[in-house]
């Protein structure tokens, strides 16, 4: 997954799955291999969420910069 390519999951889907991964890890009862697989999946989901948030921040910053730019119109 690159920065130019949006993640396959929406922010909401990734966040929901991440919450479930954390719940399963916190509840215990999984073996070492399963716990490691859950942890790795959680790391990937956290990265997807961060990409969405970074993209949203860039869009907001661009919109704010456009609002602050002087008008090029002749009056």
Q: What is the pLDDT of residues 19-63, one digit of tens each?
A: 999 999 999 999 999 999 999 999 999 999 999 999 999 999 999
pTM, two decimal places: 0.76
Residue 73: what pLDDT? 56
CA distance 58 to 62: 6
CB contact at 8 A, 3 and 51: yes
Q: Measured in whole angstroms, how far is the alpha carbon of residue 54 from the centre of its chain?
A: 7
Residue 53: what pLDDT? 97
**Phi and psi, residue 69, nearest 5°:** -70, 140
Residue 68: what pLDDT? 78
Residue 22: what pLDDT? 98
């Amino acid at each position: 997954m690159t920065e130019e390519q949006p993640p396959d999951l929406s922010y909401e889907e990734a966040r929901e799955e991440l919450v479930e991964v954390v719940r399963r890890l916190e509840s215990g009862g999984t073996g070492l291999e399963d716990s490691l697989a859950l942890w790795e999946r959680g790391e990937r989901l956290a990265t997807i969420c961060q990409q969405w948030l970074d993209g949203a921040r860039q869009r907001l910053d661009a919109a704010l910069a456009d609002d602050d730019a002087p008008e090029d119109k002749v009056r």
